[in-house]
Amino acid sequence: MLKIGICGGTFDPFHNGHMALISAALDSGRIDRLLVIPAGDPPHKQHEPVMPAIYRYEMTRKSLRDIPSTRVVDLEILKEGRSYTLDTIRMVRAEYQEPTEIYLIYGSDIIYDLEKWHEPEALLAECTMLLAIRGGDDEKRVSKLAARLNKKFNAKIELFKAPKIELSSTEIRERIIAGKNWKKSVPGPAAAVISDNKFYTLISSLEMLNVEDRGKTGKLERSIWPWLTHKRLLHSANVMLYAIKLANEHGVDLYQAAAAGLLHDCAKCLQHDQLMDYAARAGDEQLLQEELAHGPAGAVMAKEIFCITDQEILQSVHYHTTGRAGMTKLEKIIFLADKIELGRTYHDLDPIREAAETDLDQAMLICLTEVESFLRRSNRPSHPYSLDAISEIRQKNKKE
């Protein structure tokens, strides 16, 4: 019988404690394969911000990509609604045609709250619990409680040895935000994802959203997930966080900024024919060049596939590549966030970022004129919409 281990978690961030648990489970000889499953909508995290799934997934995937017999899967990320362990086990079992025994892998500390979990009796009937005894754990107490639960629920709770690594995801996040040493606490690939995208420095953006809006952005991320590459999803999440920051500074609705930021590139990975079909349906002949068409195409997709009816959001997606005259604050925010999100490595972004803190028009002018200069050096024309935006801002500045 195939023995499948499941190790789930929020992984916010994925750290060396998670790595040690996974390595010990593989070394225990109890399992043939291991599925590592980042949480989608974790029920125990409803009232605190959790980083977008793509960050947590990529930290985990890249940290484990060279570990044999291990696969990171997005089952819970793509599942609608809350991510209960029982549902996950049943989804995993349904994937395998051959007889399968499921081992659910956790640290032994979860045993104290196990009876409070969602449908614990049904959960324990579906799997064997494989719990890690780590240095400092009260092995006698855990063993006694495991025996009681095995008897009460006719369960199979087994223990295995694992090294104890004292790490807290909360403390790691706090160290990152404070600029203190944190890289020794996470695997190198996870550290690279954090450093390259700098998302924990914008965790305050998530904290600004109310619980309902955080839930809506999570659902929207799940909706666009199948349409984009992981690299494009990372960029979209980066834009979302930066857009929320700018929206807060300029009195713009935070959810509008979050949604438009996530959606701005939703058409970016379409095949050429599909991209051009969506773009043509937007009715804007000025944006049918292939490198620009994902703007109007994305606006059509946002409306038809992702059920967005807010015209400000749709316009922000439509014009995010070129800008235009008469832009709303939200449009300017999405245009700028796309260019200056913290994962961008272009030179000379600091002046645009600094201007964007207090003056969206000035930031737009700096950004647009730099693009214009680059195109001129490349013997390429600037887009008419961009020239209109530059002209409008300069005229406004003259009047002031």
87-140, pLDDT tens digit by residue? 999 999 998 888 899 999 999 999 999 999 999 999 999 999 999 998 766 888
Whether residues 347 and 378 fall in one domain: yes
| CA 243 distance to own-chain centroid | 15
- The runs of H, that is alpha helices, within the chain are 16-27, 53-64, 75-78, 85-95, 120-126, 139-153, 169-178, 188-197, 203-208, 211-224, 230-249, 254-263, 272-281, 294-304, 311-318, 329-340, 350-358, 360-377, 384-399
How far apart (Å, rounded) are the C-alpha atoms in residues 135 and 4? 26
CATH of the domain at 53: 3.40.50.620
Distances (CA, A) of 129 to 7, 10, 83, 215: 11, 19, 18, 30
Whether residues 18 and 75 fall in one domain: yes
pLDDT at res. 43: 64
Whether residues 147 and 232 fall in one domain: no
Query: Does residue 279 belong to any structural domain of this protein?
Result: yes
Whether residues 33 and 98 fall in one domain: yes
When pLDDT is cut at 50, 70 and 90, the band that residue 183 belongs to is very high
pLDDT at res. 330: 99
Strand 2-9's sheet: what is its strand order?
70-72, 33-38, 2-9, 100-107, 128-134, 157-162
Q: Which of 116, 147, 180 is the last residue of a domain?
A: 180
Strand pairing partners for 4?
33, 102
Q: Which of 129, 148, 180 is the last residue of a domain?
A: 180
Instruction: Say yes or no to pLDDT of 31 above 90.
Output: yes
Whether residues 219 and 122 fall in one domain: no
The whole-number average pLDDT for the span 46-67 is 94
Q: What pTM was estimated for this model as a whole?
A: 0.95
Q: Which of 121, 150, 180 is the last residue of a domain?
A: 180
pLDDT at res. 46: 63
Q: What torsion, rounded to 10 degrees, do the Cα atoms 200, 202, 203, 204 define?
A: 150
Whether residues 96 and 64 fall in one domain: yes
Whether residues 44 and 137 fall in one domain: yes
Positive or negative CA dihedral for 94, 96, 102, 103? negative
Whether residues 171 and 231 fall in one domain: no
- End-to-end Cα spacing for the chain: 77
Whether residues 110 and 227 fall in one domain: no
Instruction: Say yes or no to pLDDT of 400 above 90.
Output: no
Query: Does residue 317 belong to any structural domain of this protein?
Result: yes
Strand pairing partners for 128?
103
Query: Does residue 84 belong to any structural domain of this protein?
Result: yes
| pLDDT tens profile 315-365 | 999 999 999 999 999 999 999 999 999 999 988 899 999 999 999 999 999
Query: Does residue 193 belong to any structural domain of this protein?
Result: no
pLDDT at res. 397: 87
pLDDT at res. 84: 87
Query: Does residue 186 belong to any structural domain of this protein?
Result: no
| Range in 71-75, 218-222, 378-382, 389-393 the model is least confident about | 378-382
CATH of the domain at 380: 1.10.3210.10
Whether residues 286 and 362 fall in one domain: yes
Whether residues 45 and 163 fall in one domain: yes
Instruction: Say yes or no to pLDDT of 230 above 80.
Output: yes
Query: Does residue 334 belong to any structural domain of this protein?
Result: yes
Whether residues 217 and 106 fall in one domain: no
Spatial CA neighbour of 270 closest among 247, 246, 295, 241: 295
Query: Does residue 187 belong to any structural domain of this protein?
Result: no
Give the angle 57-167-148 at the CA atoms, nearest 5°.
90
pLDDT at res. 83: 77
Q: What is the DSSP letter of 159?
A: E
Percentage of the chain beyond pLDDT 70 is 98
Strand pairing partners for 3?
101
Domain count, the chain: 2
Peptide bond into 13 cis (omega under 30): yes
- At how many degrees (to 10) do helices 211-224 and 53-64 cross? 50
Domain extent for 296? 198-399
- Spell out the residues 6+ positions from residue 91 whose beta carbon is closer than 8 angstroms to its own: 75, 79
Query: Does residue 46 belong to any structural domain of this protein?
Result: yes
82: left (phi over 0), alpha (psi -120 to 50) or beta: beta
